Amino acid sequence: MVTCYIGIGSNLGNRRQYISKAIEELKAAKGIRFKKSSSIYETEPISAIPQGPFLNGVLEIETSLDPRTLLNELNVIETRLGRVRTVKNAPRTIDLDILYYGDKIIKESDLIVPHPGISKREFVLKGLRELGKK
C-alpha cells in the first residue's frame, strides 16, 4: 500500500454534500483505504473564469492501485458526482487531484505528481501540515 494525498474541492451546488459523497465513494472503492481528512477551507477560485468560492481540503489515503489506475478511479468518482469537463478550471461539483503518490515523481501529459499547484494553494499546504505530511 502506498500513502497518497488527494486534493478535494467543490464550488457548485451543495459543496459540503459533494465533498462528503466523494469521501464515501473513496471509502467504498476497491484498492483504496481512506485514512483521514484535513479541515475544509473556503477559498477563492484561481481562475479567470467567473465562479463562486470553493470548499477545499486534503485527504490522506492508502492505495494498492498504480498511479494511472488511481487517477482513473478519481475521474470515475468525479463523473458519478456530476462533474462535466468543459474548459480547464471551469466550476465543478467535485475536483479530486493526486497531490502526492508516495515518493513517486511522475511527468506525463495528463498526470504530474507531485501536483504542480501545491505551492500556490494555501489550503493544500495547510491541509498537508494538518495531516502530518512534511
For the question of whether the overall pTM of this predicted structure is more than 0.75, the answer is yes
Indicate the CATH number of 2-131 among 1.10.3720.10, 3.30.390.50, 3.30.1490.20, 3.30.70.560: 3.30.70.560
- Check if 83 is active-site: yes
Most confident of 47-51, 94-98, 112-116: 94-98
> Domain map of the chain by residue range?
2-131
- Check if 33 is active-site: no
Distances (CA, A) of 63 to 57, 69, 70, 121: 19, 10, 8, 24
Catalytic residue among 66, 85, 95, 110: 95
Give the pLDDT score at 134.
Answer: 64
Catalytic residue among 83, 103, 110, 121: 83
- In angstroms, rounded to a whole number, what is the distance separating the alpha carbons of residues 87 and 85? 6
- Check if 16 is active-site: no
What number is the average pLDDT over the span 2-23? 96
What contacts 121, CB < 8 A, 6 or more positions away? Answer: 7, 43, 46, 56
**pLDDT tens column, 97-117:** 999 999 999 999 889 999 988
More confident residue, 49 or 127: 127
Catalytic residue among 16, 80, 97, 129: 97
Give the pLDDT score at 34.
Answer: 97
- In angstroms, rounded to a whole number, what is the distance separating the alpha carbons of residues 123 and 63? 23
- Check if 66 is active-site: no
